[in-house]
Amino acid sequence: MTMRREITDPQAFGRVAVVMGGWSAERAVSLDSGAAVHAGLVARGVAAECVDADRQRLLRLADEGFDRVWLALHGRGGEDGVAQAAFELQGLPYTGSGVLASALSMDKVRCKAIWAARGVPTPVYRQVGVDADPQALLETLGLPLFVKPSREGSSIGMSRVDRSEQLLPAIRAAAQFDDAVIVERLVDGPEYTAAIIDEQCLPLIHIETPREFYDYEAKYAADNTLYHCPSGLDHERELELQRLCKHAFDIVGGRGWGRLDFMLDRDGQPWFLEVNTVPGMTSHSLVPMAAKAAGMDFAELVWRILAGTVVEEQGS
Protein backbone atom coordinates (compact mmCIF):
# COMPACT_ATOMS: atom_id res chain seq x y z
CA MET A 1 0.00 0.00 0.00
CA THR A 2 1.04 3.65 -0.29
CA MET A 3 0.88 6.43 2.25
CA ARG A 4 1.55 10.15 2.13
CA ARG A 5 4.86 11.33 3.50
CA GLU A 6 5.14 14.31 5.78
CA ILE A 7 7.37 16.71 3.86
CA THR A 8 9.47 19.36 5.59
CA ASP A 9 12.37 19.73 3.15
CA PRO A 10 11.53 21.41 -0.20
CA GLN A 11 14.30 19.41 -1.86
CA ALA A 12 12.16 16.29 -1.39
CA PHE A 13 9.95 17.53 -4.23
CA GLY A 14 12.81 17.75 -6.71
CA ARG A 15 12.20 19.90 -9.76
CA VAL A 16 8.53 20.85 -10.06
CA ALA A 17 6.71 21.90 -13.24
CA VAL A 18 3.81 24.28 -12.60
CA VAL A 19 1.77 23.44 -15.69
CA MET A 20 -0.48 26.30 -16.76
CA GLY A 21 -1.99 28.10 -19.77
CA GLY A 22 -2.96 25.44 -22.24
CA TRP A 23 -5.45 25.73 -25.08
CA SER A 24 -8.87 25.80 -23.40
CA ALA A 25 -11.29 28.71 -23.07
CA GLU A 26 -9.93 29.11 -19.53
CA ARG A 27 -6.35 29.80 -20.62
CA ALA A 28 -6.21 33.32 -19.16
CA VAL A 29 -7.44 32.18 -15.76
CA SER A 30 -5.01 29.25 -15.81
CA LEU A 31 -2.07 31.58 -16.43
CA ASP A 32 -3.10 33.64 -13.40
CA SER A 33 -3.53 30.53 -11.26
CA GLY A 34 -0.18 29.10 -12.34
CA ALA A 35 1.68 32.33 -11.62
CA ALA A 36 0.20 32.48 -8.11
CA VAL A 37 1.00 28.81 -7.43
CA HIS A 38 4.57 29.27 -8.68
CA ALA A 39 5.11 32.28 -6.42
CA GLY A 40 3.74 30.37 -3.43
CA LEU A 41 6.01 27.39 -4.03
CA VAL A 42 9.10 29.52 -4.58
CA ALA A 43 8.35 31.37 -1.34
CA ARG A 44 8.64 28.00 0.43
CA GLY A 45 11.94 27.14 -1.28
CA VAL A 46 10.56 24.70 -3.88
CA ALA A 47 12.47 24.42 -7.17
CA ALA A 48 9.39 25.25 -9.24
CA GLU A 49 9.26 26.43 -12.85
CA CYS A 50 6.33 27.72 -14.90
CA VAL A 51 5.44 25.63 -17.95
CA ASP A 52 3.00 27.13 -20.46
CA ALA A 53 1.66 23.86 -21.76
CA ASP A 54 0.91 22.73 -25.27
CA ARG A 55 0.02 19.20 -26.32
CA GLN A 56 3.57 18.28 -27.30
CA ARG A 57 5.30 19.68 -24.24
CA LEU A 58 2.97 17.80 -21.88
CA LEU A 59 4.64 14.64 -23.15
CA ARG A 60 8.20 15.93 -22.71
CA LEU A 61 8.25 17.00 -19.07
CA ALA A 62 10.03 13.91 -17.78
CA ASP A 63 12.63 14.21 -20.54
CA GLU A 64 13.15 17.84 -19.48
CA GLY A 65 14.12 16.62 -16.02
CA PHE A 66 11.02 17.46 -14.01
CA ASP A 67 10.26 15.22 -11.04
CA ARG A 68 6.60 16.07 -10.51
CA VAL A 69 3.82 18.39 -11.65
CA TRP A 70 1.71 21.00 -9.89
CA LEU A 71 -1.21 21.06 -12.33
CA ALA A 72 -2.83 24.49 -12.72
CA LEU A 73 -4.26 23.80 -16.16
CA HIS A 74 -7.98 24.62 -16.22
CA GLY A 75 -10.62 23.39 -18.64
CA ARG A 76 -10.16 20.98 -21.51
CA GLY A 77 -6.76 19.38 -21.67
CA GLY A 78 -6.15 20.02 -17.98
CA GLU A 79 -9.23 18.88 -16.09
CA ASP A 80 -10.60 16.22 -18.41
CA GLY A 81 -7.99 13.47 -17.98
CA VAL A 82 -5.84 14.39 -20.98
CA ALA A 83 -2.94 15.97 -19.05
CA GLN A 84 -3.29 13.35 -16.33
CA ALA A 85 -2.88 10.57 -18.91
CA ALA A 86 0.22 12.28 -20.31
CA PHE A 87 1.79 12.39 -16.85
CA GLU A 88 0.85 8.78 -16.16
CA LEU A 89 2.61 7.70 -19.37
CA GLN A 90 5.78 9.41 -18.16
CA GLY A 91 5.54 8.15 -14.59
CA LEU A 92 5.34 11.73 -13.30
CA PRO A 93 3.48 12.31 -10.01
CA TYR A 94 0.97 15.15 -10.29
CA THR A 95 -1.43 17.06 -8.11
CA GLY A 96 -5.15 16.35 -8.02
CA SER A 97 -7.42 13.67 -9.37
CA GLY A 98 -6.50 10.87 -11.75
CA VAL A 99 -7.56 10.23 -15.33
CA LEU A 100 -10.99 8.73 -14.71
CA ALA A 101 -12.12 11.10 -11.95
CA SER A 102 -10.96 14.09 -13.98
CA ALA A 103 -12.82 12.96 -17.09
CA LEU A 104 -16.01 12.21 -15.15
CA SER A 105 -15.95 15.50 -13.27
CA MET A 106 -15.31 17.59 -16.38
CA ASP A 107 -18.27 15.99 -18.15
CA LYS A 108 -21.25 17.40 -16.24
CA VAL A 109 -23.72 15.03 -17.91
CA ARG A 110 -21.90 11.91 -16.76
CA CYS A 111 -21.02 13.33 -13.36
CA LYS A 112 -24.68 14.14 -12.71
CA ALA A 113 -25.76 10.72 -13.95
CA ILE A 114 -23.38 9.01 -11.50
CA TRP A 115 -24.50 11.25 -8.65
CA ALA A 116 -28.15 10.59 -9.38
CA ALA A 117 -27.52 6.83 -9.48
CA ARG A 118 -25.81 6.99 -6.09
CA GLY A 119 -28.43 9.18 -4.42
CA VAL A 120 -26.54 12.49 -4.49
CA PRO A 121 -29.14 15.20 -5.20
CA THR A 122 -28.48 17.12 -8.42
CA PRO A 123 -30.94 19.31 -10.35
CA VAL A 124 -33.12 17.66 -12.99
CA TYR A 125 -31.60 18.13 -16.43
CA ARG A 126 -31.59 17.09 -20.06
CA GLN A 127 -28.68 16.78 -22.46
CA VAL A 128 -29.46 18.43 -25.79
CA GLY A 129 -27.89 19.62 -29.03
CA VAL A 130 -28.63 22.59 -31.28
CA ASP A 131 -31.60 20.71 -32.77
CA ALA A 132 -33.36 20.53 -29.38
CA ASP A 133 -37.12 21.02 -29.13
CA PRO A 134 -37.53 24.03 -26.78
CA GLN A 135 -41.19 23.39 -26.14
CA ALA A 136 -40.60 19.80 -25.04
CA LEU A 137 -37.87 20.97 -22.67
CA LEU A 138 -40.11 23.64 -21.18
CA GLU A 139 -42.90 21.13 -20.66
CA THR A 140 -40.48 18.74 -18.90
CA LEU A 141 -38.33 21.16 -16.90
CA GLY A 142 -40.36 24.35 -16.62
CA LEU A 143 -38.78 27.74 -15.94
CA PRO A 144 -36.38 29.16 -14.88
CA LEU A 145 -33.48 27.15 -16.28
CA PHE A 146 -29.72 27.17 -16.61
CA VAL A 147 -28.13 26.24 -19.95
CA LYS A 148 -24.44 25.36 -20.04
CA PRO A 149 -21.86 23.44 -22.08
CA SER A 150 -21.31 20.02 -20.57
CA ARG A 151 -17.51 20.17 -20.69
CA GLU A 152 -16.52 23.74 -19.87
CA GLY A 153 -15.80 25.53 -16.60
CA SER A 154 -15.80 29.07 -15.18
CA SER A 155 -19.43 29.51 -16.34
CA ILE A 156 -18.18 29.90 -19.93
CA GLY A 157 -21.09 29.65 -22.39
CA MET A 158 -23.62 29.55 -19.54
CA SER A 159 -26.96 31.37 -19.55
CA ARG A 160 -29.93 31.79 -17.26
CA VAL A 161 -33.29 31.36 -18.97
CA ASP A 162 -36.34 33.03 -17.41
CA ARG A 163 -38.52 33.34 -20.53
CA SER A 164 -39.35 30.74 -23.15
CA GLU A 165 -37.95 32.81 -26.03
CA GLN A 166 -34.51 32.82 -24.34
CA LEU A 167 -34.10 29.05 -24.39
CA LEU A 168 -33.08 28.36 -28.00
CA PRO A 169 -30.55 31.24 -28.16
CA ALA A 170 -29.07 30.01 -24.87
CA ILE A 171 -28.67 26.48 -26.26
CA ARG A 172 -27.00 27.86 -29.39
CA ALA A 173 -24.65 29.98 -27.27
CA ALA A 174 -23.61 26.98 -25.17
CA ALA A 175 -23.19 24.83 -28.28
CA GLN A 176 -20.44 27.16 -29.49
CA PHE A 177 -18.27 25.63 -26.76
CA ASP A 178 -19.50 22.01 -26.72
CA ASP A 179 -21.80 19.87 -28.83
CA ALA A 180 -23.20 18.43 -25.58
CA VAL A 181 -25.36 21.01 -23.81
CA ILE A 182 -27.08 20.72 -20.44
CA VAL A 183 -30.46 22.29 -19.79
CA GLU A 184 -30.91 22.20 -16.03
CA ARG A 185 -33.73 23.19 -13.69
CA LEU A 186 -32.70 26.27 -11.71
CA VAL A 187 -32.52 25.91 -7.94
CA ASP A 188 -33.92 28.99 -6.22
CA GLY A 189 -31.69 29.59 -3.23
CA PRO A 190 -28.22 30.49 -1.97
CA GLU A 191 -25.06 29.15 -3.59
CA TYR A 192 -22.18 27.55 -1.68
CA THR A 193 -18.85 26.01 -2.48
CA ALA A 194 -16.78 23.44 -0.60
CA ALA A 195 -13.01 23.09 -0.97
CA ILE A 196 -11.43 19.72 -0.22
CA ILE A 197 -7.75 19.27 0.62
CA ASP A 198 -6.57 15.69 1.17
CA GLU A 199 -9.41 14.17 3.19
CA GLN A 200 -10.50 17.47 4.78
CA CYS A 201 -13.45 19.60 3.71
CA LEU A 202 -12.58 23.24 4.45
CA PRO A 203 -15.06 25.83 5.75
CA LEU A 204 -17.95 26.39 3.34
CA ILE A 205 -18.25 29.67 1.45
CA HIS A 206 -21.60 31.31 0.76
CA ILE A 207 -21.50 33.27 -2.51
CA GLU A 208 -23.66 36.29 -3.27
CA THR A 209 -23.62 38.31 -6.47
CA PRO A 210 -25.85 41.19 -7.64
CA ARG A 211 -25.50 39.81 -11.17
CA GLU A 212 -28.04 37.49 -12.74
CA PHE A 213 -25.95 34.55 -11.56
CA TYR A 214 -22.36 33.73 -10.52
CA ASP A 215 -20.95 34.10 -14.03
CA TYR A 216 -17.42 34.57 -15.43
CA GLU A 217 -17.44 38.30 -14.67
CA ALA A 218 -18.61 37.73 -11.08
CA LYS A 219 -15.95 35.06 -10.57
CA TYR A 220 -12.89 36.80 -11.92
CA ALA A 221 -13.44 40.54 -12.35
CA ALA A 222 -16.30 41.98 -10.32
CA ASP A 223 -15.56 43.67 -7.01
CA ASN A 224 -19.15 43.46 -5.76
CA THR A 225 -19.33 39.67 -5.43
CA LEU A 226 -19.65 38.79 -1.75
CA TYR A 227 -18.01 35.75 -0.19
CA HIS A 228 -19.16 34.77 3.28
CA CYS A 229 -16.77 32.53 5.19
CA PRO A 230 -17.94 31.61 7.81
CA SER A 231 -20.93 30.73 5.68
CA GLY A 232 -23.60 31.76 8.17
CA LEU A 233 -24.87 28.20 8.56
CA ASP A 234 -25.07 26.77 12.05
CA HIS A 235 -22.23 24.47 13.05
CA GLU A 236 -24.07 21.14 12.85
CA ARG A 237 -25.64 22.00 9.51
CA GLU A 238 -22.28 22.96 8.04
CA LEU A 239 -20.72 19.71 9.26
CA GLU A 240 -23.55 17.74 7.66
CA LEU A 241 -23.09 19.54 4.33
CA GLN A 242 -19.32 19.07 4.48
CA ARG A 243 -19.83 15.32 4.87
CA LEU A 244 -22.17 15.31 1.86
CA CYS A 245 -19.62 17.25 -0.19
CA LYS A 246 -16.85 14.81 0.66
CA HIS A 247 -19.18 11.91 -0.22
CA ALA A 248 -20.02 13.46 -3.60
CA PHE A 249 -16.30 14.02 -4.27
CA ASP A 250 -15.43 10.44 -3.36
CA ILE A 251 -18.16 8.99 -5.59
CA VAL A 252 -16.48 10.33 -8.73
CA GLY A 253 -13.08 9.20 -7.45
CA GLY A 254 -11.71 12.63 -6.58
CA ARG A 255 -8.35 12.75 -4.82
CA GLY A 256 -5.87 15.28 -3.48
CA TRP A 257 -7.86 18.46 -3.78
CA GLY A 258 -10.87 19.91 -5.52
CA ARG A 259 -13.98 22.00 -5.09
CA LEU A 260 -17.70 21.23 -5.22
CA ASP A 261 -20.45 23.75 -5.94
CA PHE A 262 -23.97 23.32 -4.61
CA MET A 263 -27.12 25.28 -3.83
CA LEU A 264 -29.71 25.08 -1.09
CA ASP A 265 -33.35 25.37 -2.07
CA ARG A 266 -36.00 27.11 0.01
CA ASP A 267 -36.46 23.98 2.11
CA GLY A 268 -32.72 23.72 2.83
CA GLN A 269 -32.22 20.73 0.50
CA PRO A 270 -28.75 20.72 -1.10
CA TRP A 271 -28.46 20.28 -4.86
CA PHE A 272 -25.00 19.52 -6.22
CA LEU A 273 -23.97 21.24 -9.43
CA GLU A 274 -20.44 20.15 -10.33
CA VAL A 275 -16.95 19.11 -9.24
CA ASN A 276 -13.88 21.17 -10.10
CA THR A 277 -10.77 18.99 -10.03
CA VAL A 278 -8.38 21.88 -10.80
CA PRO A 279 -10.02 24.88 -9.13
CA GLY A 280 -8.85 28.43 -9.71
CA MET A 281 -5.99 29.79 -7.62
CA THR A 282 -6.27 33.48 -8.55
CA SER A 283 -6.81 36.48 -6.26
CA HIS A 284 -10.59 35.95 -6.61
CA SER A 285 -10.48 32.18 -6.14
CA LEU A 286 -12.42 30.25 -3.54
CA VAL A 287 -10.05 27.48 -2.41
CA PRO A 288 -7.45 29.96 -1.08
CA MET A 289 -10.29 31.84 0.63
CA ALA A 290 -11.50 28.72 2.42
CA ALA A 291 -7.94 27.73 3.31
CA LYS A 292 -7.35 31.14 4.87
CA ALA A 293 -10.48 30.69 7.00
CA ALA A 294 -9.00 27.37 8.14
CA GLY A 295 -5.77 29.10 9.19
CA MET A 296 -3.72 28.17 6.12
CA ASP A 297 -1.90 30.82 4.08
CA PHE A 298 -1.47 30.50 0.32
CA ALA A 299 2.10 29.17 0.42
CA GLU A 300 1.08 26.48 2.92
CA LEU A 301 -1.91 25.58 0.75
CA VAL A 302 0.11 25.00 -2.42
CA TRP A 303 2.75 23.12 -0.40
CA ARG A 304 0.12 20.78 1.07
CA ILE A 305 -1.37 20.10 -2.33
CA LEU A 306 2.08 19.32 -3.75
CA ALA A 307 2.92 17.11 -0.76
CA GLY A 308 0.06 14.85 -1.81
CA THR A 309 2.16 13.74 -4.77
CA VAL A 310 4.87 12.25 -2.55
CA VAL A 311 4.05 8.75 -1.32
CA GLU A 312 6.06 5.94 0.15
CA GLU A 313 5.61 2.22 -0.11
CA GLN A 314 4.63 0.50 3.14
CA GLY A 315 5.33 -3.16 3.79
CA SER A 316 2.43 -5.48 4.50
Under a CB-based contact definition with an 8 Å cutoff, are residues 254 and 275 in contact? Answer: yes
The Cα–Cα gap between 21 and 303 comes to 21
Pick the CATH number of 2-95+300-313 from 3.40.50.20, 1.20.190.20, 3.50.50.60, 3.40.50.620: 3.40.50.20
The Cα–Cα gap between 76 and 206 comes to 27
* Residue 259 known to be catalytic: yes
* Residue 240 known to be catalytic: no
Residue 74 burial (C-beta neighbours within 10 Å; 0-12, 13-18, 19+): buried
Of 12-16, 114-118, 178-182, minimum mean pLDDT range: 178-182
Q: Are strands 68-71 and 15-21 parallel, antiparallel or unpaired?
A: parallel
* Residue 250 known to be catalytic: no
**CATH homologous superfamily, domain 112-119+188-296:** ATP-grasp fold, B domain (3.30.470.20)
Identify the CA nearest to 87 among candidates 45, 59, 121.
59
Catalytic residue among 107, 184, 238, 274: 274
Calculate Rg over the CA atoms of the chain. 19
Pick the CATH number of 124-185 from 2.40.128.520, 3.30.1490.20, 3.40.640.10, 3.10.580.10: 3.30.1490.20
Convert the pLDDT of each residue in 153-204 to its tens digit. Answer: 656 788 999 999 999 999 999 999 888 899 999 998 999 999 999 889 999 9
One fold for both 2-95+300-313 and 112-119+188-296? no
* Residue 54 known to be catalytic: no
Domain ranges of the chain: 2-95+300-313, 112-119+188-296, 124-185
The Cα–Cα gap between 112 and 122 comes to 6
* Residue 265 known to be catalytic: no
Catalytic residue among 94, 125, 192, 220: 220
Average pLDDT, the chain: 91
